Structure 1
Amino acid sequence: MKHPVDVHVGSRVRQRRWMTGMTQQQLAERVGIKFQQIQKYETGMNRISASRLWDIAEALGVQVSFFFEGLQQDAETEAPSQPDMMADREAMELVRSYYAIPETQRRRLFDLARVLSDVA
């Protein structure tokens, strides 16, 4: 059975990998493992050891604490209290595309999105 913390950490690995545009194969090569192991980590099927998490954090350019951000445990269920919006592939692609836009245009797009969301 998957532990909720392992699922959360794995989804954060996937999120960061996607944000950087890295494939599972590329991350696996940087860490020195097979891409299938990355798949298992990202689904929470396999736990990530502390030293492996350190290597993954280094390869993805984040602190180890990044993988635990947003993990708020319910004292009774020990499950994350809110679903991670960034676990959605479409949301990840949108964010990555957003940051690929030049800053001045990105700011204008942000302002437009804010206005449109206020109208809805």
Structure 2
Amino acid sequence: MPSDDGGERPEREHRPSPIDVHVGGRVRLRRTLLGMSQEKLGDALGLTFQQIQKYERGVNRIGASRLFDLSRVLDVPIGFFFDDMPDALGGTGGTGTARRIYGLAEQQEGFDDETLHRRETLELVRAYYRINDAAVRKRVFELIKSLTPAD
């Protein structure tokens, strides 16, 4: 594209928007929690797994209609994709409106966002929700709570 002085402008280096990266990371988090492959998610949306990879990395921006489809397939409200957005990106650090609307707990001391993205955490959550008996699931939850240090 010509500049004001008649010369050519250097092509701008394309970097994903931090917001697109955040939203893509939330897609990946939910997909992983559900134990769903990129291929299976792509099939549900009529996309290739490569397109899902690009969404998850934030390389491709997710449009409103696609975000709506993702929320239905992943069974989360659209706001889920924007939860825990850093303050620097216009988020509330996970303590504002989204927390009030969805009834989410405040972030605990010593518990950072990285913990949620560890494979061990995701596998634990998936295994927990595969327990079909609600009473057994509650006993497992109480057992885990009893093993943690007192506040």
Where in structure 2 are the equivalents of 1:79-98 lying within 5 Å?
Answer: 83-98=113-128
Q: Distance in 1 between matches of 2:64 and 2:77?
A: 12
TM-score scaled by length of structure 2: 0.67
Instruction: Report the CA distance between 1:21 and its aligned residue.
Output: 2.3
- Asked if 1:48 is matched to 2:62, the reply is yes
Name the SS for the 1:29 alignment partner. helix
* 1:104 matched to 2:118: no
Matches of 2:135 and 2:125 in 1, distance apart? 16
- Alignment gaps of 5+ in structure 2: 1-14, 94-111
Q: Does 1:34 align with 2:51?
A: no
- In structure 2, the residue matched to 1:7 is 21
Tell me, which stretches of 5 or more residues in structure 1 are unaligned?
A: none
* Alpha-carbon distance change, 17 to 57 in structure 1, aligned in 2, over 3 angstroms: same
CA RMSD of superposed structures (Å): 2.2
Residue identity opposite 1:73 in structure 2: D
Post-superposition offset of 1:98: 0.8
Q: Larger RCO: Structure 1 or Structure 2 (Cα < 8 Å, ≥ 6 residues apart)?
A: 1
Total equivalences in the alignment: 117
TM-score by length of 1: 0.82
The question of whether the paired residues in 2 share the 8 Å contact of 1:5 and 1:79 is answered with no
The one-letter code of the counterpart of 2:64 is: A
Which aligned pairs between 1:52-63 and structure 2 lie closer than 5 A? Answer: 52-63=66-77
Instruction: Encode CA deviations 1:64-103: one digit per residue, 9 max, x unaligned.
Output: 11111111423xxx38756353222221111010111232
Q: Note closer, same or farther for the CA distance 1:79–1:40 as it changes in structure 2 (3 Å cut).
A: farther
Helix, strand or coil: the match of 1:118?
coil
